[in-house]
């Protein structure tokens, strides 16, 4: 297990040795708290876009289902007749320049795996730049939009926001409740009191603290041909290699188990880079990966490589609440 994996496991298990990191945690908390105070007081200049900006993020290290939720928000907003754009940091991307407009035919090396996935799935206008404000300006200069979704960026205060949605893994929660490096929190837990909504990934019903949503497997998609097959393509008990280079690989493996398959798990670091050799497993079995990993593997995929397409399904209460927020934001002069 890599050092990062051991630390992640310790955060969520509450290992007593983490007490040694509390002096560093105290320093980290002062820095992030000061950063937020500067934003709230107006001391930190921030760009306010001429259209509503909705930030979708988290306050924990590790995956929370952010990309599937953004895909749901794009589709839902479009159903309301809205022209939606997305901005993202583009973690790991190496574009020729910044800001960079992501197109579906680009490589994950150039565009970043999550932005490329979002564009390939939806065709949404998407701009990457670590400076989210610069990305928003460039996106609005390229075409008219009604609404901007910011992929992550909770702590990027140079971009003003009209709505903050925070996602939490319902199974793992907030770990030991401590900030980096003594725990998994990017900001103190009190930050949740200031956001507009908290969504719990894996909660079929709405908890008292917010709303629930689930990731529903939709289909198997072949990496080489693009063929889409129903979930019964593999019979119950099918053994297969399972690849996940995401923030919480175990969630993906648990999903495959829930589909009554027998995955041989191969966890990788979040945003891991792959090649044919790194995925040459034995014995020969069908290989199933996440859609986020698939965008990096199509060029060298074998015939029996698939990704599991999943869709976010928020509760009706969240949908109703979000629609009321859209109405409020779009009717504000």
**Total count of residues recorded for the chain:** 333
pLDDT per residue as tens digits for the range 145-163:
999 999 988 989 999 999 9
CATH number of 3-212+314-331: 3.40.50
Calpha distance 283→306 (Å, rounded): 17
User: Which pLDDT score, from 0 to 100, does residue 227 have?
Assistant: 96
User: Which pLDDT score, from 0 to 100, does residue 7 have?
Assistant: 83
From the number of C-beta atoms within 10 Å of its C-beta (0-12, 13-18, 19+), residue 98 rates as middle
CB 67 within 8 A of CB 164: no
Question: Could you say which DSSP state residue 235 is in?
Answer: P
User: Which pLDDT score, from 0 to 100, does residue 13 have?
Assistant: 82
Which letter, b or e, does each residue of 168-177 get, where b requires 16 or more Cβ atoms within 10 Å of its Cβ? bbbebebbbe
Calpha distance 251→63 (Å, rounded): 9
Tokens of 324: 């009321």
User: Which pLDDT score, from 0 to 100, does residue 153 have?
Assistant: 87
Calpha distance 19→203 (Å, rounded): 31
Calpha distance 139→238 (Å, rounded): 45
Each residue's pLDDT, cut to its tens digit, for the chain (333 residues) gives: 444 677 888 898 888 889 999 999 999 999 999 999 998 898 988 999 999 999 999 999 878 899 999 999 999 999 999 999 999 999 889 999 999 999 999 999 999 999 999 999 999 999 999 999 999 999 999 999 999 999 988 989 999 999 999 999 998 899 999 999 999 999 999 999 999 999 999 998 999 999 999 999 999 999 999 999 999 999 999 999 999 999 889 999 999 999 999 999 999 988 889 999 999 999 999 999 999 999 999 999 999 999 999 999 999 999 999 999 999 999 976
Nearest to 151 by CA among 68, 32, 50, 78: 68
Give domain limits for the chain: 3-212+314-331, 215-313
User: Which pLDDT score, from 0 to 100, does residue 318 have?
Assistant: 98
Using DSSP bridges, classify how beta strands 211-222 and 126-128 pair: parallel, antiparallel or unpaired: unpaired
Query: Distances from the Cα of 331 to the Cαs of 50, 52, 71, 328, in angstroms?
Result: 13, 10, 24, 5
CB 248 within 8 A of CB 270: no
User: Which pLDDT score, from 0 to 100, does residue 270 have?
Assistant: 85
Radius of gyration of the CA atoms of the chain, in A: 20
Calpha distance 68→206 (Å, rounded): 18
Supply the pTM of this predicted model: 0.93
Question: Could you say which DSSP state residue 154 is in?
Answer: T
Phi, psi of 178 (to 5 degrees): -110, 160
pLDDT per residue as tens digits for the range 162-191:
999 999 999 889 999 999 999 999 999 999
């Amino acid at each position: 297990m890599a050092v990062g994996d051991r630390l992640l496991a310790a955060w969520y298990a509450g290992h007593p040795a983490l007490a040694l990191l509390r002096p560093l945690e105290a320093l980290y908390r002062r820095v992030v708290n000061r950063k937020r105070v500067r934003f709230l007081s107006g001391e930190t200049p921030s760009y306010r876009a001429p259209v509503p900006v909705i930030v979708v993020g988290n306050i924990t290290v590790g995956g929370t289902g952010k990309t599937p939720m953004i895909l749901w928000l794009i589709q839902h907003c479009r159903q309301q007749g809205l022209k939606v754009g997305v901005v993202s940091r583009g973690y790991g991307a190496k574009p020729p320049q910044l800001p960079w407009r992501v197109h579906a035919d680009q490589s994950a090396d150039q565009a970043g795996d999550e932005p490329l996935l979002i564009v390939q799935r939806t065709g949404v206008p998407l701009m990457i730049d670590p400076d989210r404000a610069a990305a928003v300006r460039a996106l609005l200069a390229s075409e008219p939009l009604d609404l901007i979704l910011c992929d992550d960026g909770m702590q990027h205060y140079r971009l003003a926001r009209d709505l903050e949605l925070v996602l939490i893994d319902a199974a793992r929660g907030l770990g030991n409740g401590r900030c980096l490096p003594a725990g998994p929190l990017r900001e103190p837990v009190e930050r949740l009191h200031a956001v507009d909504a908290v969504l719990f990934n894996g909660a079929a019903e709405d908890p008292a603290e917010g709303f629930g949503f689930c990731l529903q497997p939709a289909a198997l998609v072949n990496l080489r041909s693009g063929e889409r097959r129903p979930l019964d393509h593999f019979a119950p008990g099918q053994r297969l290699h399972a690849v996940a280079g995401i923030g919480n690989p175990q969630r993906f493996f648990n999903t495959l188990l829930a589909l009554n398959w027998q995955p041989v798990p191969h966890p990788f670091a979040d945003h891991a880079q792959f090649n044919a050799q790194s995925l040459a497993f034995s014995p020969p079995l069908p290989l199933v990966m996440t859609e986020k990993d698939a965008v990096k593997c199509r060029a060298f995929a074998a015939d029996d490589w698939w990704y599991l397409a999943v869709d976010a399904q928020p509760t009706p209460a969240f949908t109703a609440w979000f629609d009321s927020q859209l109405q409020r934001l779009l009717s504000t002069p």
